[in-house]
Every structure is written in structure tokens, then in C-alpha cells.
A and B are shown apart, each in its own frame.
Chain A
Amino acid sequence: MKANLGFFFLAVFSVAVWAGWDWPYIAKLMPIYVVAIPGLILASVQLYRDATDWEGRQRGKGGGIEMDEVYEVKLDKATEIRRTVNFFAWFIGGALGIWLFGIVIALPVLVSLYAFVDGKERWYTSLAIGACTYLIVWGFFEYMLEARWPPGVLFR
């Protein structure tokens, strides 16, 4: 899995070099020569490190500090995977809902359903959260700020 992300970056930089090779010099100076070619080399080195478990051997040696938040979820693997898949299912479902039904309907429904089904909140609490969401999305943005949200594909 670790190497897969390395492959992803390698693929991105390779496609970038391939796509930009025939551009005029001034157009490819920065993206190809300054970024993509060095990126390709770095991604190859990282892939080699992933393949030889270089990071695993360095672990525990200390030195330096993480720049980004460290992934430190202390759950058993099965629970972690179940909750992660569940989370992304809700999120992608929300995005699909916006496309199908429009944001004014989809977001309050998503919020209510998440609180009720996943969060096991009481039904009236879930409905109240949904109503607040509706007030924000429609009342504040569409009615007060006149931000016109497009309808979903089912209502066009």
C-alpha cells in the first residue's frame, strides 16, 4: 500500500513529462524541467526506499520531527477499516446527493441521517440538526446572501 502511493506520484510525474515534452521552452521550463523531472527522480528513489523498507529500519532512531499530523489511530485494524470505509461512504453519498437532488435538499438530509444512523442520536435531535443545516444552506446563503444553488440533475 505504501508503495502504491509512490507509484501514484511516479505515474503523475511521468504523465507530466510525457504531456509537456513538446511544449515551447517557456511553457515547459517550470513544470517539466524544474518540477516534473526532479519529481520523477525523487519518486523513483522513494519507491526504492518503500521496496527495501528503508523507513522501517530508520524507525526509533529519532531525529527530526513530523511536519504534518502523525497518523496515530489506536484502533484494531478491522474497526479502523470499517469506520474509514463507512466515513467515505457517507461523504461520497453526500456528494452524489448534491449532484442528484441539489445542495438545499441533500445536505440537510445527509446531516440528519448521519446523526441518526451513524451517531445514534435521537430522531428529534437529528431532525433539529437537519433543520439548522437547511437554515444555513437555504436561509443564510440562498435567501439572505442570494447565492443561487443549482438544482440537482433530477429536478432540471
Chain B
Amino acid sequence: MEISLFDAAAKGFLNLLQFKIFFALLMGVGVGTFTAVAPQGLGIPLVYAIALPVVIRWEPLTGIAFLIGASSVSAICAAYLPILFGIPGGSGSQATVLDGYPMGKRGEGRRALGASFMAGGMGCLIGTLTLALAVPATRPLIYLMGSPELFVVMLWGLSMVAVLAGRRPIKGLIAAAFGLLIAMIGQQAQSGVMRFVFDEPYLLDGISISIIALALFGIPSALDLALTKLGVEQQPVPLRGSLFDGVRDTLREWWLVIRCSFLGVWVGIVPGLGSQVVDWLAYGHAAQTCKGARETFGKGDVRGVIAPESANDAKDGGDLITTLLLGFPQGVSTALFIVALLAWGYLPGPEMVKKNIDVVYSVIWIQGMAGIIGTLIGFVLSTQLAKLAEVRYTFMVPTLFLFILMGAFSVHRDPLDLVAVVAFGILGYFMRRFAYPRPALILGLVLGDLMEKYLYRSMAAYGFTWLTRPAVIVLLILSAVSFIFTLRGKLKSASEYPSTLGGAMGKAEDEG
């Protein structure tokens, strides 16, 4: 018998009342805080890639608490590097540099941090609340989706990820196709055919996603540190001022926080608009709507910190809406989160909503709790955390070596894992160097198996007639329309920049 949503929410909360889950949540929050603050903003994709081989052996809720705790707090604490060093922390705090760093240089670093924590915490709660409300609102629709509809949704989402977010849609599509191809390596479950194995036993089960994610994201991050020699050749501004000035600023700008938070949720839901976009969109929105922004933005206006930080933290809620309810991840972190869910035996999407709705609510509760804990940690430990940002590259690079090599080797304890991590590390370096988006590759890799399963089921059950199902036709029309409009919009924004939003973002990026 299916349980009511209220019961599921209550059960989801009761699931969490165990010491080990709370401990895992705190551990995740600690790791997320460190990676957000640590030099160069190591980023949650790397944390997930390192943690995945370990946490999938844990009980599901303990692992979920760790992963969600880390990602949630990572966004809240991502403002240290922009404010202290003038460099983007995570991918979602690039716009914070524009006003955060001038504030830091002016002796208002703590005020900027206070505003960032408060706006981030509020954004996270708004995102979580929206996620909680999205479950009852979308459940009837989700129940109508079968394998054909899910296949079309994933194909649509994947192509949008490649096309929408990026100046080079063809490179995005190539990266996504390459990811899908890697996902096909090994024995096909349906036919038993060995695909792309080339008589190499190592390839029988395919290449581990953990190894590929570690290599693609870990090695370029470590290389960045080694290139810039952070903490040795680049020094931070001193942290001065009061955190509570920032809190007051944020409360005074509550309407801006709410607007930008919903913008963040929307960015989280739309395929392809990830953390690379959310902060610029919110910053652009604030720059266009705030009084006197033309004169003060870019020179240390606290609203230029509040807007991107609230949107960036709210985005996680939107991300989880599509991840949990449709089984489609919006970025690398949620893609790896899906890998973990699959390893624990959950199939994100309609099946999880039908069979494991209490787990969906546990995720929502964890997300909300992590947001509150992350905000409190930011306030209580701001001075100590600022010191973490000053850790020299000479400590960080070997630490990354340790976790990348150990993480890769721990998957099968096979020397060929090391060959794979080196090979994909070099590929990751060149992909980033020549602007082939790595997230598209990871999304393709994660979705490859699921997409093939849905396509196989559709073909087996309906032949080619699945293409004539009403919901599939509607989704295909929607896909085609959004695809064409997106491409048209991109061309238009290229020619009319900066009069359109895309152009405004491009302009902000160029000025940044």
C-alpha cells in the first residue's frame, strides 16, 4: 500500500534520528566546508568522486547524509576565496569576486562573508522548501511517465546540457557522446554482447565512473594549484570588519534574496544551466534591478555578494527536483549522486517516487539541516576557516595526489586503475584546455546505462510505435521547440550582446 506524503515526510525525518547518520552529516559538512574554503575551491565533484568508492559501502542514509551534507555546505562557504583572494571558489561563486574582493580590500571582508553566509543559508532553505513542495505537485505527472517518456526526457536533457550551457555547443555534444560511449564499454545486460572490450579483461565491467570523475576533475584542480603556486606566490587580503553588518545587509535586502533564490531554483531545474551560470544570472538580475547598481556594482557593493550567493545555494534544491523526481542529473555532483543511489539499489525518478518516497523526504530533510548547520559553522568559525584558505599549494597538491591515486587504486586494486586515472587525467587537462566541457562527459557516462535500459524497454514493449505515444510526442515537440529557441537565442545574444541576458552574462564575464 502506498503511504501518504505526510507519513512519508514524517518517516523520512524519523529515518534520520540515528547517531551515525547525524555523524555522517557532520562529517560531510566538515569535508564540504574544507573543500569550499581550501585553496582554489576544490569543488564538490571532486569530493564526490573521492568519496564514492567509500560511501557506497555504507548504509544508504548514512552515505546520503555525507554526500548531501558536503554539497549543501560547500555552496554556503564558497565565498572565502572570492573575498580573500579575488579568485572564484566553487564554480557558483565566480560573480562574487566582482564585489566581494573589493569589499575585502576595503577592510570589509567579514561583512561580505556575513552577507554571503546569511544569503546562502536563506537561499538553501528556500531551495529545500521548493523541493519539498515539488514532490506533491509533480507526483501525478511523474506517475504517467514510462520508459519511452523517460528516454526522451534524458535525451532532451543531455542535448540541452551540451547545447545550452556553453559557447561551443558542438564540443558539448561531442563530450556527451564520448561519455555515452564509455558507458557502453563492457558486457551488455540485454544481449550478453561484449562491447568495446578488445579482449582486455580490465574492460569487461567497464571503466569505473569514480576513476574517470577523479581524473577529469581532480588532476586539473591539482594542476591549477601547482601552476599558480597559491599561498606562496598569491597572498590573501586581511580579514576585517564585522559579520553582523553583513547579516543586517542581507535582512534589509530580503526581497532580493527571495528573487535570486527562486532564480537559483529555476536554474537548478532547467537542464544545462548549472552553477557556472547561476551566479552570473543572479548578479545580472541584481545589477539590472537594484537602485544605483550602475554606479556601485563591481566596486564593493554588498548586494553584488548577496545576489549570487543566495541563488547559488538555492540551486541545489532545484537540482534535486529533477535528480530525484525525474532521475535526470543537472550537473556532475548530482550525476555522481545518482551513481551512489543506483549502487544502493534506488532508481531515481518515478520508481523512487513510487517505492522509496520516504528516502526522497530524508534527502530533503538532510538538505535543510545541512543548510542550517553550514550557515552556523560559517558564522562561528569564520576566522579559523579563513586561515584554511591560506594553506599553501605545497600541502594541497600532495594531498590531492594522495586522494586521487588512493581513490582510483581502491576501486579494483588493479595497476590498470592507475593507468586509467593517468590517461583520463591527461584527457581532462586537454579537455579543459581546449574547452570541451567535462560535465557533459560525466553526464553522458552516468546516463548511458539508464538511457539504454529505457530505450531497450521501449523497443521491446512497443517497437517503433513508442514514438507515437501522446506523451512522447508532446515531449519531443517541447524538446524540438526549446532546442531551436535555445540555439536561436544563442545566435541572437551573440549578435546583440549585451542587450540580452546571454549577452549581459558574457559582458559581466568579460569585465570580470
Give A residues with C-beta under 8 Å from B: 1-2, 5, 9, 12-13, 16, 19-20, 23-24, 26-27, 29-31, 34-36, 38-39, 42-43, 45-46, 49, 55, 58, 60-71, 73, 75, 80, 83-84, 86-88, 90-92, 94-95, 98-99, 103, 107, 110-111, 114-115, 118-121, 129, 133, 136-137, 141, 147, 149-150
Rounded to whole Å, the gap between the CB of B294 and the closest CB of chain A is: 19
List A contacts of B405 (CB < 8 A).
94-95, 98, 103, 107, 110
- Give the chain A neighbours of B492 by CB distance below 8 A: 63
- Asked if A24 and B224 make an inter-chain contact with CB atoms under 8 angstroms apart, the answer reads no
Q: Are B398 and A111 in contact (CB under 8 A)?
A: yes
Scoring A19, A68, A110, A121 by chain B CB atoms within 10 A of each residue's CB, the highest score goes to: A68
Q: What CA separation (Å) do A50 and B510 show in the bound complex?
A: 23
Task: For B421, list chain A residues within 8 Å (CB).
Answer: 95
Residue on A nearest B400 in the bound complex, by CB: A91
Q: 24 A-B pairs, CB-CB below 8 angstroms?
A: A16-B181, A24-B193, A26-B191, A27-B193, A27-B195, A30-B452, A31-B196, A35-B180, A38-B173, A61-B495, A62-B506, A63-B494, A63-B502, A64-B505, A65-B166, A67-B165, A75-B228, A98-B415, A111-B399, A118-B394, A119-B232, A119-B398, A141-B410, A149-B413
Instruction: Tell me, rounded to whole Å, the shortest Cβ–Cβ distance linking B500 to chain A.
Output: 8
Given the known inter-chain contacts A1-B434, A29-B459, A68-B438, please indicate yes or no for A129 contacting B398, CB distance below 8 A. yes
Are B410 and A107 interface neighbours, CB within 8 A? no
How far apart are the CA atoms of A12 and B436 in the complex, in Å? Answer: 15
Output the nearest chain B residue to A119 by Cβ-Cβ distance.
B394
- B465: chain A residues at CB < 8 Å are none
Query: A67 contacts B392, CB within 8 Å?
Result: no
Q: Is the pair B418, A95 in contact by a Cβ cutoff of 8 Å?
A: yes
* Chain A contact residues, majority secondary structure: helix
Q: Which of A2, A19, A65 contacts B196 (CB 8 A)?
A: A19
Selecting from B25-33, B141-149, B424-432, the interface stretch reads B424-432
Q: Are B439 and A67 in touch, CB under 8 angstroms?
A: yes
Contact of A65 among B167, B184, B426, B431 (CB under 8 A): B167
Q: Does B23 contact A (CB under 8 A)?
A: no
Per a CB cutoff under 8 Å, which of A69, A83, A110, A141 touches B401? A110
With a cutoff of 8 Å between Cβ atoms, the chain A residues found around residue B455 in the complex are 29-30, 34
- Which residue of chain B has its CB nearest to the CB of A137? B406
Q: Which residues of A contact B418 (CB under 8 A)?
A: 95, 98-99
**Shortest CB distance A145–B (Å):** 9
Residues of B with C-beta under 8 A to A133: 398, 402
B181 touches A71 (CB 8 A): no
In the assembled complex, the Cα of A118 lies from the Cα of B401 at a distance in Å of 14
Contact residues in B for A68 (Cβ distance below 8 Å):
166, 276, 431-432, 435-439
Per-residue CB contact flags for chain B residues 219-230 toward chain A (1 = under 8 Å, else 0) read: 110111011100
Cβ–Cβ < 8 Å partners of A95 in chain B = 405, 418-419, 421-422
- Chain B residue, CB-CB nearest to A150: B413
- Please determine whether B435 and A27 come into contact, CB atoms closer than 8 angstroms: no
CA distance A133 to B402 in the complex (A): 8
Contact flag A64-B437 (CB < 8 Å), given A12-B181, A23-B193: no
Q: Which of A16, A38, A110 has the most CB of B within 10 A?
A: A16
Residues of A contacting B503 with CB < 8 Å?
A: 62-63
List 5 additional A-B contacts (Cβ < 8 Å) besides A31-B184, A71-B435, A90-B401. A23-B191, A27-B188, A42-B170, A61-B497, A118-B394
Q: Which residues of B contact A30 (CB under 8 A)?
A: 180, 184, 448, 451-452, 455-456
Mask for B153-195, Cβ within 8 A of A = 1, else 0? Answer: 0000000010001111011111001101100100010110101
Bound together, the chains give a CA A95 to CA B410 distance in angstroms of: 13
Q: What B residues does A119 contact at CB under 8 A?
A: 232, 392-395, 397-398
B248 CB–A CB distance under 8 Å: no
Asked if B440 lies at the interface with its beta carbon under 8 angstroms from chain A, I say yes
A5, A35, A43, A103: which contacts B434 (Cβ < 8 A)? Answer: A5
Contact in complex: B226, A65 (CB < 8 Å)? no
Asked if B243 lies at the interface with its beta carbon under 8 angstroms from chain A, I say: no
Determine the distance from Cα of A107 to Cα of B178 in the docked complex, in whole angstroms.
32
